[in-house]
């Protein structure tokens, strides 16, 4: 069985749990406490030199880091990865957007406001306005796309939607006001209505 090294509050880890659930792939979970530094210790670094979760363990000595690479690997040949070459390019383009232009603002502001120890939040308080502005800009880029498309890559729900859903649906914890993004809010509801979605009670 595959083992997901993860933190339950992490959106990057949630992506993998959601895809695995929807593909019917059993996952064992190994939980790491937030802020304990376990992923920076030698045992973990021997498995992922970048010291981060999620990390997918295959049980035969192989490990795969990076949430969106894990989504790609697990979804190859399934309906959740677009079959068309152009749609695949769109999926990857949005997944790189998510990691470069969205997660560093939307997820980091959520971490600081809702999960960080008080001293970390206070030390980084001056960053909150810029994180809000850049996070709102990313949500605005999504809103522009969703004002004329139902999904991010091709004509159906895919791993691109899973990648963007994770931290977007938790953006309220980061002080973002999703009511300002109506097309995005309708897309969040469409994603939550997909078969096999993880219910709220299981997300944290």
Report which of 137, 204, 124, 121 is spatially closest to residue 176, judged by C-alpha positions. Answer: 137
Alpha-carbon gap, residue 185 to 172, rounded angstroms: 12
Torsion of CA 5, 7, 8, 10, to 10 degrees: -120
Q: Could you say which residues in the range 36-55 bind its own copies, by CB under 8 A?
A: 49-50
One of 30, 79, 100, 133 touching its own copies (CB under 8 A): 100
Q: How far is C-alpha 118 from the geometric centre of its chain's CA atoms?
A: 24
Q: What is the DSSP letter of 57?
A: E
Asked if 180 touches its own copies (CB under 8 A), the answer is: no
Nearer to its own copies, 120 or 192 (CB): 120
Q: Is 30 in the site for its own copies (CB under 8 A)?
A: no
The binder of its own copies chosen from 5, 15, 17, 88 (CB under 8 A): 88
> Which range binds its own copies by CB under 8 A, 22-30, 58-66, 110-118, 177-185?
58-66
Question: What kind and span of H or E run contains 65?
Answer: strand 63-65
**R_g of the chain computed on alpha carbons:** 17
Q: Nearest approach, Cβ of 15 to its own copies (angstroms)? A: 12
Residues that bind its own copies (CB under 8 A): 49-50, 62, 64-70, 72-73, 76, 85-86, 88-90, 92-93, 95-97, 99-101, 103-104, 140-141, 144-145
């Amino acid at each position: 069985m595959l083992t997901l090294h993860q933190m339950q509050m992490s959106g990057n880890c949630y992506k993998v749990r959601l895809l695995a659930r929807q593909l019917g792939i059993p996952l064992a979970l190994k939980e790491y406490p937030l802020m304990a530094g376990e992923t920076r210790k030698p045992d973990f670094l021997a498995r992922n030199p970048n010291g981060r979760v999620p990390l997918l363990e295959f049980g035969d000595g192989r490990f795969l880091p990076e949430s969106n690479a894990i989504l790609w690997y697990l979804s190859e040949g399934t309906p959740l990865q677009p079959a068309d070459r152009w749609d695949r390019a769109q999926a990857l383009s949005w997944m790189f957007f998510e990691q470069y232009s969205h997660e560093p603002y939307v997820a980091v502001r959520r971490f600081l406001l809702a999960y960080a120890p008080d001293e970390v939040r206070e030390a980084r308080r001056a960053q909150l306005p810029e994180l809000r502005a850049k996070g709102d800009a990313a949500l605005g880029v999504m809103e522009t796309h969703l004002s004329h498309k139902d999904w991010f890559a091709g004509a159906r729900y895919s791993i691109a939607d899973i990648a963007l859903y994770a931290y977007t649906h938790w953006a309220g914890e980061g002080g973002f006001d999703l009511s300002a993004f109506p097309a995005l809010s309708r897309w969040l509801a469409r994603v939550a209505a997909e078969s096999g979605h993880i219910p709220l009670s299981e997300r944290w």
